[in-house]
Amino acid sequence: MGAMQGMFMALRLANDLFRTINENNVLKVAVTATHAVTQLPTDWRGGYIWITNTSASSYCEVAQTINANAEIDLSVAATTAGASTKVGTYIPPATRQRFQLQEWDKTQPCYLVHEGQASLTLYLERGA
């Protein structure tokens, strides 16, 4: 019996169905130590995405927003009351995590705001 027995991982191949040819439902995002936003495809509204942090040693924080001027600030200190301003979801080094995007008005842009501990690459993949 192999170590993988009993483990199941649902994989979805990148595809350009319902999109412009060669736009394969995957975004490759350059994250730096300064906050920035990346516009999300409208057809991802309300769906699931996988976020993969390819860095072996650096983490980042991300959040979904309709505000193109939104910021994440990794220097925000934790408080007993729970600091919330400019705090995103933590993405550890060398991990892949699944998230559900919130719905948004399809006539308006929506963004992933991000900031990294250091420069790194995130893959955002439309998932199931």
The structural domains of the chain, with segments of one domain joined by +, span 26-127
Contacts of 25 (CB under 8 A, 6+ apart): 14, 15, 16, 19, 41, 125, 126
Reported as a single tens digit per residue, the pLDDT across 62-118 is 999 999 999 999 999 999 999 989 999 999 999 999 999 999 999 999 999 999 999
CA 20 to chain centre: 21
CATH number for the domain whose boundaries are 26-127: 2.60.120
Q: Are 110 and 104 in contact (CB under 8 A)?
A: yes
pTM of the prediction?
A: 0.83
| Nearest in space to 72 (alpha carbons), one of 33, 29, 125, 121 | 33
CA distance 42 to 104: 8
Residue 6 in this model has a pLDDT that exceeds 70 = no
Largest CA distance in the chain: 53
Reported as a single tens digit per residue, the pLDDT across 37-61 is 999 999 899 999 999 999 999 999 9
